[in-house]
A and B are shown apart, each in its own frame.
Chain A
Amino acid sequence: MSATTRLSAARLNRLFLAGELSATEIVDAFLSRIGQVEPQVRAFITVTAAEARERAQRLDSRRKADGRDLGPLAGVPVAVKDNIVTQGIPTTCGSRILEGFVPPYDATVISRLQGAGAILIGKTNMDEFAMGSSTENSGFFPTRNPWDLERVPGGSSGGSAAAVAADECAVALGSDTGGSIRQPAAFCGVVGLKPTYGAVSRFGLVAFASSLDQIGPIAHDVADAALLFSVIAGHDRRDSTSAPNADRVAQFQPGPDTSLAGVRVGVPREFFAAGLDDGVRRAVEAAIQHLGSLGAEVREVSLPHVEYALDAYYVIAPAEASSNLARYDGVRYGYRSPGAESLLDMYLRTRRDGFGPEVKRRIMIGTYALSAGYYDAYYKKAQQVRTLVVRDFQQAFAEVDVLATPTTPTPAFRIGEKTDDPLAMYLADVYTIPVNLAGLPALSLPCGRVDGLPVGLQLIGRHFEEPLLFRVAHAFEKTTTHGQARPPLDG
């Protein structure tokens, strides 16, 4: 394997700007890596080889011409989850119903990536409409975990996490509605950040559950995650939920300092209860101890309502999804079932054939939860629970600066292991979901391994305190070796 694909994004950028590596060389190295491992991993729905080469050539000429303002990601190959729209490049959302859809516009994060000189290398596989925790719900094919090809990479950003872990791209974008960046990052042994709700524009992110969705970075190390985040974060007037102060969260400069003196780390006891794999528990407890050894003050806290978060989430997210997915009706774009005999028939056939089983399940749950007569019992009650979860976090953050938890209750499970048991699958996000309900930022980073499979440590912060998460994670990363491990892919 080429050494180039093992370099960090920051390093690739420096080498490109210094003229030591051309963008074309970089792109070729990654495309060849994709050619080598993609048949096993299957992280991509679309590899944009031609576009990437063309862009690399343009970057190379620009660098030779004047070399100025090429951007902090210039020359860096980025993979993007296929629910983020890309002008002129098919965007499928992992669903048959978007068959043939080529967006005439870019998501804001894509424009920002381009402004920073990044090179889009492909669109990654995902659970259909981001619904799932294993990337097995993709409408096309499952992606495999580079650490163990018999296991899932996590979901729904499984394609992005696997692509980074397998060195098929330097960094990637995922989206996180209930854990869909952090859970696959943990399973694949990479760093993933779910930003504060409103920190990154959702314009161009195909909506799953609008009040929970957030785009975020997946990277090999904390510095790269911070770099990618600094490019995509910021206010966007095309997204009314974009925070006016989003620009100020973007800055984090990794320094040599690894002291965590003065940082209060809370350990919520509810995250270490039944259901937590012993190996994961040991790895996470050791990681928390390590934070203490770096000078952080560690104390136990309680989030009494998080045990209801999963239930609330599985009402709110499907409710919003049932609404957001109503637009796929076969009228304007994407798939339309042939042979319909009436308008209703066209709707029914198109949605029957276009959506997979998990999407249909959630549409039905959401439709039911919003129906007259059930709204109060389900949707409204779930929103009340959400408020309680938000308050739990507020109270905890009155005492501590950051919370440390496992990212997932278990390491990556086997392909097919939970496909027949949706409820078991839903539990894979039990530690990440409360964060989305509260709109908080959270980061997952590798903190050990169980039976050769990566384990993730989740750090949760106050709104817009991503810089603190980066600082704590960076200190941990610099003083341990967990993040340096690479999957035994090409043996």
Chain B
Amino acid sequence: MHTAAQELEFETVVGLEVHVELGTRSKIFCGCSTAPGAEPNTQTCPVCLGYPGVLPVLNEQALAYAIRAALALNCEIARFSKFDRKQYFYPDLPKGYQISQYDQPLAHSGWVEIEVGGETRRIGIVRVHLEEDAGKLLHAGGVVDSGASYVDFNRCGVPLIEIVSAPDIRSPEEARAYLEKLRAIMIYTGVSEARLEMGQMRADVNISVRPVGSTAFGTRTELKNLSSFRAVMRGIEYEARRQWEVIRAGGEVVQETRHFDEERGITLSLRGKEEAHDYRYFPEPDLPPVVLTDEQIEKIRAGLPELPDARKARYVTEYGLSAYDAGLIVRDKAVADFFEESVRQYAKGPAGAKTLANWVINELQRILADRGLELGQTPLTPAHLVGMLKLIDEGTISGKIGKEVFEAMVETGQEAAAIVKERGLVQVTDEAELAAIARQVIEANPKVVEDWRKGKAAAAQFLVGQVMKATRGRANPQLAGRLVRAALAEVTGVTNE
């Protein structure tokens, strides 16, 4: 084991190369559908299968999406960029090369801001470029002892952007915050659903370590194709520690590509620098360069929606939310949209917005996280939440019952009023009924009553809790408190405040 002090001597340096699948209906160089979940090889044509004689034609929508994403990442858009061929043999690469952008990418020199531990940091974006995805190999049996391999070319030609960060990331937490920010930006701009579980966003991670205070970079290794935030964090954690161990033991880190074994939580050498591919890039002769005018770029810029950072700032100034709370809400565009629509329907200004923010953060996001759901996968609408808040405001239900109602709404999609009625959750405000219950509770808890008599005011709280329990939470808490105290005073002759 290493002590914290020893670890402080080193700094982890991380750069990420993130592939994001663009949400176009058709592929980047042909008209084939990109809809997920199709039977293998049903979404292919001679073009994406690399048949003899066929030629690629750039999907204008893919280009527009890539520009939009790059602008949202604060990049400079190149007025002149071009496609290149990246060449290697693999059965899932039908042409024997991948059409990508190499020395003249679509966009460069951008940045995003992340917040970790209350500190805001700017992470540089070196470049954003367009490329096509490859297919997928399916092995009958295990990878090693498989008797046959099958290729599914459905993914071939699915449009991707690759977003290359500067080596500005210093910890697994920052890497996660960066990836979450990228994902939010992709979703906000509508260029991708960025679903990690569907491979719509995947990361290659470059990791090196160096003594704190040093500005030179150490030798880096690369982890390929990580498809979850958790894997990225664990991969960085393990790999930085491994490199540090190597250096501490007097060894040298070898530049290589490593595989992160998620099951074992370790990284393994995949191939060394000396085995690195020579991709023999050269300009793609079948596609003319991409030449963009200022007008084209400005038109796309003008169409950019409000991005998460801007929305967060607006929540702080417009609704008086804390930056932290606003940040929690804008992280998920669907949740933020839900929040804003709720604010509009609730129509109670900043005070109402704060109430809604609490419900969204403490209840909605908790329930979604617990159940591993996206907001869109539930029947919940802003009208549900607002309807329920009105019941609380009217005193029909207590806030505590509200939580139960809210959960039921998420599950069933029923209106709050219907749930309250069906489950008999209307708040008990009948004085006589509650007074009777208060007396029963007092009789059943002589020891607590004795505490009260001795001057312990908190004893009343316990008894109020018992009243709530007896009414299954439906008692109006204020009324219950008043009636319990009155009954105690009556029984003991003592008034505690």
**A residues whose Cβ falls under 8 Å from a Cβ of B:** 83-85, 91, 93, 98, 101, 103-105, 107, 202-207, 209-211, 237-241, 319-320, 322-323, 325-327, 329, 331-333, 343, 347, 367, 370-372, 375, 379
A323–B85 contact, CB under 8 A?
yes
Given known A-B contacts A326-B97, A329-B89, A367 and B286 have beta carbons under 8 A apart: no
**B residues whose Cβ falls under 8 Å from a Cβ of A:** 46, 49-58, 85, 87, 89, 91, 94-97, 149, 151, 278, 280-282, 285-288
A207–B46 contact, CB under 8 A?
no
Task: Please indicate the chain B residues that have their CB under 8 angstroms from the CB of A332 in the complex.
Answer: 49-51, 94
* Interface residue from B58, B97, B149, B151 paired with A323 (Cβ < 8 Å): B97
Nearest B residue (CB) for A347: B89
Since A103-B51, A238-B55, A372-B280 are in contact, a sample of 11 more A-B pairs with Cβ atoms closer than 8 Å, ordered by chain A residue number, is: A105-B46, A107-B53, A202-B55, A206-B53, A240-B288, A241-B55, A329-B96, A331-B94, A332-B49, A332-B94, A370-B281
Task: Please indicate the chain B residues that have their CB under 8 angstroms from the CB of A210 in the complex.
Answer: 285-286
B51–A371 contact, CB under 8 A?
no
Task: Please indicate the chain A residues that have their CB under 8 angstroms from the CB of B52 in the complex.
Answer: 85, 91, 93, 98, 101, 103, 206-207, 327
Given known A-B contacts A207-B53, A370-B280, A343 and B91 have beta carbons under 8 A apart: yes
18 A/B residue pairs, CB under 8 Å, sorted by A = A91-B52, A104-B46, A105-B46, A105-B51, A105-B54, A202-B53, A204-B54, A238-B55, A239-B55, A239-B57, A240-B288, A319-B282, A326-B95, A327-B50, A343-B91, A347-B89, A367-B280, A370-B280
A321 to B337, CA, bound (A): 53
Q: Inter-chain contact count A-B, CB under 8 Å?
A: 100
A213 to B96, CA, bound (A): 20
Task: Please indicate the chain A residues that have their CB under 8 angstroms from the CB of B151 in the complex.
Answer: 331
A238–B57 contact, CB under 8 A?
yes
**From residue B59, how far is it (CB to closest CB) to chain A in Å?**
11
B282–A370 contact, CB under 8 A?
yes
A202 to B52, CA, bound (A): 11
Task: Please indicate the chain B residues that have their CB under 8 angstroms from the CB of A241 in the complex.
Answer: 55, 285-288
A240–B94 contact, CB under 8 A?
no
**From residue B138, how far is it (CB to closest CB) to chain A in Å?**
14
Question: Which of A98, A103, A210, A240: most chain B CB closer than 10 A?
Answer: A240
A262 to B67, CA, bound (A): 51
* Interface residue from B49, B85, B278 paired with A372 (Cβ < 8 Å): B278
Sorted nearest first, the 4 A-B pairs with minimum C-beta distance are A326-B96, A210-B285, A370-B280, A211-B285
A85–B53 contact, CB under 8 A?
yes
A203–B282 contact, CB under 8 A?
no
Task: Please indicate the chain B residues that have their CB under 8 angstroms from the CB of A347 in the complex.
Answer: 89
Question: Which of B149, B151, B282: most chain A CB closer than 10 A?
Answer: B282
Task: Please indicate the chain A residues that have their CB under 8 angstroms from the CB of B57 in the complex.
Answer: 237-240
Question: Which of B46, B89, B280: most chain A CB closer than 10 A?
Answer: B280
* Interface residue from B46, B49, B89, B286 paired with A240 (Cβ < 8 Å): B286
A379–B53 contact, CB under 8 A?
no
Task: Please indicate the chain A residues that have their CB under 8 angstroms from the CB of B49 in the complex.
Answer: 332
Task: Please indicate the chain B residues that have their CB under 8 angstroms from the CB of A319 in the complex.
Answer: 282
Task: Please indicate the chain A residues that have their CB under 8 angstroms from the CB of B91 in the complex.
Answer: 329, 331, 343
A105 to B286, CA, bound (A): 19
Task: Please indicate the chain B residues that have their CB under 8 angstroms from the CB of A331 in the complex.
Answer: 91, 94, 151
A211 to B283, CA, bound (A): 10
Task: Please indicate the chain A residues that have their CB under 8 angstroms from the CB of B96 in the complex.
Answer: 323, 325-327, 329
A264 to B213, CA, bound (A): 73
A203 to B51, CA, bound (A): 11
Question: Which of A210, A239, A331, A343: most chain B CB closer than 10 A?
Answer: A331
Task: Please indicate the chain B residues that have their CB under 8 angstroms from the CB of A207 in the complex.
Answer: 52-53, 286
Question: Which of A91, A101, A104, A332: most chain B CB closer than 10 A?
Answer: A332
**From residue B81, how far is it (CB to closest CB) to chain A in Å?**
15
A327–B55 contact, CB under 8 A?
no
Given known A-B contacts A105-B46, A203-B54, A333-B51, A379 and B282 have beta carbons under 8 A apart: yes
**From residue B92, how far is it (CB to closest CB) to chain A in Å?**
9
Task: Please indicate the chain B residues that have their CB under 8 angstroms from the CB of A105 in the complex.
Answer: 46, 51, 54
Nearest B residue (CB) for A366: B280
A206 to B56, CA, bound (A): 13
B282–A323 contact, CB under 8 A?
yes
Task: Please indicate the chain B residues that have their CB under 8 angstroms from the CB of A239 in the complex.
Answer: 55, 57, 286
Task: Please indicate the chain A residues that have their CB under 8 angstroms from the CB of B56 in the complex.
Answer: 240
**From residue A301, how far is it (CB to closest CB) to chain B in Å?**
29
Nearest B residue (CB) for A211: B285
A241 to B289, CA, bound (A): 10
Nearest A residue (CB) for B58: A240
Task: Please indicate the chain B residues that have their CB under 8 angstroms from the CB of A238 in the complex.
Answer: 55, 57
**From residue A235, how far is it (CB to closest CB) to chain B in Å?**
12
**From residue A210, how far is it (CB to closest CB) to chain B in Å?**
4
**From residue A73, how far is it (CB to closest CB) to chain B in Å?**
22
**From residue B11, how far is it (CB to closest CB) to chain A in Å?**
32
Task: Please indicate the chain B residues that have their CB under 8 angstroms from the CB of A204 in the complex.
Answer: 53-54
Task: Please indicate the chain A residues that have their CB under 8 angstroms from the CB of B280 in the complex.
Answer: 322-323, 367, 370-372, 375
